[in-house]
Structure 1
Amino acid sequence: MKFKFTKFFVLIIFVVTISCIEKTATKLNEKVNTTQVANKPNIVVLLCDDLGYGDLSSFGHPIIETKNLDKLAESGIKLTNLYSAAPVCSPSRVGLLTGRSPNRAGVYDFIPGIKKSEDNRDLVHLQAHEETIPALLKSVGYATCLVGKWHCSSRFNSDLQPQPNNFGFDHWFATHNNAGPSHKNPKNFVRNRQEVGEIEGFSSQIIVSEAINWLEKHEDNNPFFLEVAFHEPHEPIASPENLVKKYLPKAKNREEAEYFANVENVDIAVGRLIEYLQKNYNENTLVIFTSDNGPETLLRYEKAKKSYGTPGELKGMKLWTNEAGFRVPGIVSWLGKNNFTGTSDAVVSSLDFLPTFCELAGVVLPKRKLDGESFKSLIEKGKFNREKPLIWAFYDAINDHRVAMRMGDWKIMARLEVDNKELPHIHNLYDGNEDFVKSAKMTDLVLFNLKDDINESTDLALKNPKVFEKMKKEFEIQYKELLAGSHIWTRGEE
């Protein structure tokens, strides 16, 4: 009996011990998981539409008041060398989401509505195989949301092309392109594939309210990724009357006052969102503010009657490959973290958002070719030395030099010619013009030192032959590689 009791007693001890170990391990795993989740920052991208480099008061505008964005810049990093992926909306947005040159994704120009064309432009969309920021973050537990402008497909809210939810957005509330009929009382929003109808108010305030409502329902401890894609200050511009009256005494005319008011209305909307984040998610939330491209040119097209954006001291405007086309205001602020603050002239691109967010969130980078690189070191320590050159090939550019590359302080640009004639303006690469575009040669190369000459006023190609030859060689390599990887649209892809 004694032996049997002892054996039974030992068995009980063994079972209890195993149970305790399992419970302890479970608690440790829960603690580890909680720690891992806590270490992943919430990420918020605030993206304006057609906001110029000089349109914020913190970037030198003498009249427009943007106190909330100025305060955000003071709490974080003001980026004076931040570039968008393209000098126009759709390719810029695709580049931001994928970390790849939009040419690789096959988005060469803004995406119009459906209208069958010889160059297959009606087929253009962000393709399902592209790996995006929200999808990658979602794979490690992030909740994801898009509010505002989409403009990454020709067939919006259709089963014929992927929609925002196909790229990792759990919740989306968006328009295809601009808010219509204007920023005031828009009628064209879609929420998760359901048309919403007319909404009272102004677009910037409407989408921030949607974002806050989504965050209110975010009950778990998982981090979130939120993209707030403002329609402002893209035409058709509409602004609150009280703000318009505020600027009338200082503006040239009512149209300019409406533009100034439009930018401040965005600033007020940003202020509402930041206040909410500070009250509810102030421990670990990374906020990035920027623009999709430079400012629209006044009266470039009939409806651009209120486009009074400014490039500041930069040369060019939207649709240019000179600096003002894609050098945009940039602000990074990490709420709850004691990281680097101040002004940085480090060369950063929206292409870098994906690899940066992936590194911060512990996501393995896609194996496919990326053109961006992580600037985590800049956020944390204020130091970032870009290794990859930035290259743009925009075949519908207003200026003559349609291909450009920045490497370090230097920028080189080139015209494109076929048989000694300028390459025609092109919206899309397809099987009917692929060989023709790829046969174009880079000519009339010019060189600028952007550190000393921000407005690209002096060509230094002859004065700095060694630098010029080095830049030219790298430029040719980079452009050849980009051409080889550019997507070609064919009618069979429908």
Structure 2
Amino acid sequence: MNFKSVYLFSLIAVFCLSCKNNTSENKETQEVITSTSSLVNSKPNIVVLLCDDLGYGDLSSFGHPIIKTPNLDKLAETGIKLTDFYSTAPVCSPSRAGLLTGRSPNKAGIYDFIPGLKKSPDNRDLVHLQAHEQTIPAMLKSVGYATCLVGKWHCSSRFNSDEQPQPDDFGFDHWFATHNNAAPSHKNPKNFIRNREKVGEIEGFSSQIIVTEAINWLDNKKDDNPFFLEVTFHEPHEPIASPENLVEKYLPLSENREQAEYFANVENVDIAVGRLVEYFESKNMDNTLIVFSSDNGPETFMRYSRAKHSYGSPGALKGMKLWTNEAGFRVPGIINWIGKKTFTGTTNKVVSALDYLPTFAELSGAKLPNRNLDGESFTALLENGDFNREKPLIWAFYDALNERKVAMRKGDWKIMASIEADGKPLPNIHNLSDGNEALVKNAKLVNHVLFNLKKDISESEELSGSNPEIFQNMKKALAVEYKNLLDESHIWVREE
């Protein structure tokens, strides 16, 4: 490797969504297979579709009363709709790092979004996915996969520079990406890089541009080896731009033009997904596993000056992007295996993007990385819908907008805690460095709260007082999990 070289939501829709999510066994028709031999080691093509800032309630299949997403809805209807799917962080860069590595992004030292280069006391300008991190594409390459990334990278502070690893250093044969957002907007972007070469302005909209790139890569593939394709849409992250015909469609149904542009933006992603699925089917790619989700929850309207289009919906969930309440990282999840008979239906089994790596390893026959993973394989879910994770999911997001920066889900229960340092709330922190390591590691978890997410996805009823035994057990478990996470968290040190 060369490292030099909100709009008002329909109460009926929210109520129905909540009812579906709180049902232990959805009554929709489900098909179950009992044999594992047809799935494991079949070396399927694997496609990860990832939106940027898409809210839990932004797809019509997840309860949106206005936005039309027929292609994604069909994938959910004919595959698996995951009502309890989690991203690995409530913001973009750490979420992507966790997805690629199957480990908490804190362990990779990616705690917050990665900005452009600007030297800071907390060493944030040093942050990048480091060369020793083992990723999905590199793992799959070891068993013969061709690999491709199209869309948003956002895993390095020095994008397209030999001073830090780039996508090809982590196993991508072909990459066509931007550092962060498409610029100047989704329309006619100018900042794409293809395999370390600047591309210049491209006519069209980002979601369609990257799907076209993916299709061209597949068309030019010179062998029949299976492929891993990661499609990381910029949409519906600001700065939003959408096709005018779609905007016109939504104007009569929207509060203003900006909201219509947001609605159109989500549908444009759906159209792009439809193009890709149609391509797979036209080429008889009948062993292609597709997983769809978002990197985090929806942006808060006007949280910053450019967020004037941010009309994303958290559905029935509490919070938004940058929160450790559910809407920060609970996102739409869909799995569909083209050409394979799997479990189908709606499930409230708890699944995380951390689980992609171990699942893909099992399905492809690849050897797992020699390190402790935070994800676990969900092949049982594909086989018969019976997946019960053993590892709790924990998030420690030190820049959270809500009071409690640490959260853990274990089974049906979620516990959250504030962090207190020197008798005061820990200030918001972007990055762990040698300058603040002692402060964070000596801080204490305080002010715990407890929720039953099976019964209360809105986190509206705090239950620590009425469930003292469960509360104490969850507090103890959180203390252990958080300590383990802190012990493995990477600390950034500037080498002068």
TM-score by length of 2: 0.92
CA-CA distance at 1:282 after TM superposition: 3.2
Q: How far did residue 419 of structure 1 move? A: 2.1
CA contact (8 A) 2:417 2:446 kept: yes
Residue of structure 2 in register with 1:161 after alignment: 164
- Code of the residue aligned with 2:151 in structure 1: it is G
C-alpha contact (below 8 Å) 1:37/1:223 kept by paired residues: no
C-alpha distance in 2 between matches for 1:403 and 1:470 = 16
Query: What SS does the corresponding residue of 1:209 show, helix, strand or coil?
Result: helix
Q: Does 1:301 align with 2:304?
A: yes
**Structure 1 counterpart of 2:479, from 476, 480, 483:** 476
1:171 aligns with 2:144: no
Q: What displacement does 1:281 show?
A: 4.1
Number of aligned positions between the proteins: 459
Q: In 1, distance between residues paired with 2:399 and 2:202? A: 35
Distance 2:40 2:445 in 1: 49
| Structure having the larger proportion of residues in helix | 1
Q: Is the 8 A contact 2:40 2:362 kept in 1?
A: no
Maintained 8 Å contact 1:414/1:442:
yes
Structure 2 residue 421 is the aligned partner of structure 1 residue 387: no
Which structure is higher in RCO with an 8 Å CA cutoff and minimum separation 6?
A: 2
**Is residue 2:104 matched to residue 1:101?**
yes
Deviation at 1:124, TM superposition (A): 0.1
Q: Do structure 1's residue 365 and structure 2's residue 372 form an aligned pair?
A: no
How far apart are the structure 2 equivalents of 1:431 and 1:160? 22
Task: Determine what percentage of the aligned residue pairs are the same residue.
Answer: 75
Q: Deviations over 1:24-44 (max 9, x none)?
A: xxxxxxxxxxx9999200000
Residues 320 and 38 (structure 1 numbering): CA distance in 2 closer, same or farther, change over 3 Å? closer
* Equivalent AA in structure 2 for residue 436 of structure 1: L
- For 2:366 and 2:476, the matched residues in 1 are separated by 34
Question: Aligned equivalents of 2:188 and 2:383: distance in 1?
Answer: 41
CA distance in 1 between partners of 2:149 and 2:284 (Å) = 18
Q: 1:140 to 1:37 in 2, by over 3 A?
A: farther
Post-superposition offset of 1:364? 1.3
One-letter identity of the residue aligned with 1:365: L
Q: Which amino acid aligns with 1:428?
A: N
- Whole-angstrom CA distance in 2 between matches of 1:235 and 1:379: 34
Instruction: Give 1:381 deviation, angstroms.
Output: 1.1
Give the Cα separation in 2 of the matches to 1:433 and 1:38. 45
Counterpart in the other structure of 1:429: 432
**Selected match of 2:404 from 395, 401, 404:** 401
Task: Kindly indicate whether the alpha-carbon contact (under 8 Å) linking 1:121 and 1:428 is maintained by their aligned counterparts in 2.
Answer: yes
Aligned-partner Cα distance in 1 for 2:195–2:103: 26
Q: Does 1:113 align with 2:116?
A: yes
Superposition pairs of residues 261-276 of structure 1, within 5 angstroms: 261-276=264-279
Pairwise CA distance, 1:219: 2.9
Q: Deviations over 1:108-131 (max 9, x none)?
A: 000000001110000000000000
Once the two structures are superposed, residues 322-356 of structure 1 have per-residue CA deviations (whole angstroms, 9 ceiling, x without a partner) of: 00000000000000001100001000000000000
Spell out the pairing of 1:50-129 with structure 2 (5 A cutoff): 50-129=53-132
Specify the code of the residue in structure 2 equivalent to 1:212: I
**Alignment counterpart, residue 130 of structure 1, candidates 128, 133, 154:** 133
- What is the alpha-carbon distance in structure 1 between the residues aligned to residue 369 and residue 43 of structure 2? 19
Structure 2 counterpart of 1:233, which letter? P
Q: Secondary structure at the match of 2:54?
A: coil
Amino acid paired to 2:474 = M
Matched, 1:48 2:60: no
Secondary structure of 1:487's counterpart equals coil
8 Å CA contact 1:146, 1:172 repeated in 2: yes
What residue identity is the alignment partner of 1:251? S
CA deviation string 1:419-442 (max 9, x = no partner): 220001000000111011111111
Q: CA deviation at 1:264?
A: 0.2
Question: Where does residue 15 of structure 1 map in the other structure?
Answer: none
Q: Secondary structure at 1:248's aligned position in 2?
A: helix
Aligned mates of 1:133, 1:288 — CA distance in 2: 14
Q: Kindly state the Cα deviation for residue 300 of structure 1 after the two structures are TM-superposed.
A: 0.1
Q: In structure 2, what is the Cα distance between the partners aligned to 1:104 and 1:206?
A: 33
Cα RMSD between the aligned structures?
1.2
Q: Residue 114 of structure 1 contacts residue 154 of structure 1 at CA under 8 Å; is this kept in 2?
A: yes
- Match in the other structure for 2:290: 287
Is the Cα–Cα contact under 8 Å of residues 37 and 222 in structure 1 kept in the other structure?
no
- Shift of the 37–200 alpha-carbon distance from structure 1 to 2, 3 Å rule, reads farther
Change in 2 beyond 3 A, CA 1:220/1:36? farther
Question: 1:306-455 alignment to 2 at 5 Å?
Answer: 306-455=309-458
Structure whose CA Rg is larger: 1
Secondary structure of 1:118 counterpart: coil
**Structure 1: gaps spanning 5 or more residues:** 1-34
What does 1:136-215 align with in structure 2 at a 5 Å threshold? 136-215=139-218
SS across alignment from 2:273: helix
Aligned to 2:15: none
Any conservation in 2 of the 1:389–1:405 contact (CA below 8 Å)?
Answer: yes
> Aligned partner of 1:76: which letter?
G
Alignment match, 2:8:
none
From the superposition, tell whether residues 166 and 281 of structure 1 become closer, same or farther in structure 2 (CA, over 3 Å): farther
Segments of structure 2 that go 5 or more residues without pairing to the other structure are 1-37
Measured after TM superposition, the shift of residue 198 of structure 1 is 0.1
Q: Residue 264 of structure 1: SS of its match in structure 2?
A: helix
Secondary structure at the counterpart of residue 100 of structure 2 = helix
C-alpha distance 219-454 of structure 1, shift in aligned 2 (>3 A): same
Amino acid at match of 1:243: L
Cα offset, 1:379, TM superposition: 1.1
Q: What SS is found at the alignment partner of 2:331? A: strand
- Tell me which moved more, 318-327 or 36-45: 36-45
Helix, strand or coil at the partner of 1:265: helix
1:238-281 CA deviation, whole Å, 9 max, x = no partner? 00000000000000000000000000000000000000011214
